[in-house]
Amino acid sequence: MQRDFEQDCGKVPQIADGYDEQLLQAELEILREQVISLQQELYNRDSDIHELEQELWHTNDQLWRLDQEIQMQSQNLPTLPFAEAQELAKQLVQAGYANPTALATLLQAIYQVPVKLQNLGVIPRPSKLVLSQAIVQRRVLAAERSRMRSKMLEIAAQHDTFREEVVRLKNQIAESVKSLDSWRKSECPVPTNASVVGSPAFTLSEEMPPMQVICREGA
């Protein structure tokens, strides 16, 4: 047994101390039987595949023969006149069972005659319809552009009006400051040795603080 194992594997397995040699030989025999069983199953599978390949070949051969027979029978069938074939194609198109372009191409290939889609009941879209749609769309865009320009001009006019109002208010504030300064000088004369408690000299600025004029008693 050990010699057979050496011939199969090329080397002698190392047997651990205390291991039963008879048990090892029994396990090796079981493994060999399993290998033989797997080889037989693999052979059976190969045979099944070979049978399936043979059956597939016969099936393809039968299909080829049937195809040849159908072609021969179709050549012997009477061909419909072009007018009848075109009418039949028209009915199929109107019923929604076929594509008119595909049928027209098929009829042209069979009868070698140009076939128009109008002959199959298809109403073509005139180019003027597409052109009118483009014109309408262009007019809509032009109207929208005009509306946007008008809005921009309106906003610009409002901006100019606002700036004019700001300038007017600044001028009005300046006049009010001058009037208040004149009133202070006329109503509250200040001697040379007197002091005025309040804000410094008036200046026109963007933000002017509220002014307080206090006249000392006994002036």
Residue with the bigger pLDDT between 107 and 16: it is 107
Residues 51 and 84 reside in one and the same domain: no
Number of domains in the chain: 3
Residues 89 and 137 reside in one and the same domain: no
Phi, psi (deg, nearest 5) at residue 126: -65, 150
Residue with the bigger pLDDT between 208 and 144: it is 144
Answer yes or no: is pLDDT of 175 > 50. Answer: yes
pTM more than 0.75? no
Q: Residue 96 domain-assigned?
A: yes
Residues 71 and 6 reside in one and the same domain: yes
Tokens 């004369």 label which residue? 189
Residues 17 and 66 reside in one and the same domain: yes
Residues 6 and 71 reside in one and the same domain: yes
Answer yes or no: is pLDDT of 108 > 70. Answer: yes
Q: What is the mean pLDDT of residues 48-62?
A: 83
- Report the DSSP beta bridge partners of residue 34: none
Task: Write out the residue range of the structural domain in which residue 133 sits.
Answer: 127-189
Q: What is the mean pLDDT of residues 166-178?
A: 80
pLDDT score, position 123 = 66
Residues 183 and 161 reside in one and the same domain: yes
In whole angstroms, how large is the CA radius of gyration of the chain? Answer: 55
Residues 16 and 63 reside in one and the same domain: yes
pLDDT class of 134 with cuts at 50, 70, 90: low
Average confidence score pLDDT of the chain = 70
Residues 26 and 72 reside in one and the same domain: yes
Q: Residue 167 domain-assigned?
A: yes
By CB atoms closer than 10 A (0-12, 13-18, 19+), residue 151 is exposed
C-alpha span between 106 and 201 (Å, rounded): 102
Q: Residue 168 domain-assigned?
A: yes
Q: What is the mean pLDDT of residues 80-89?
A: 82
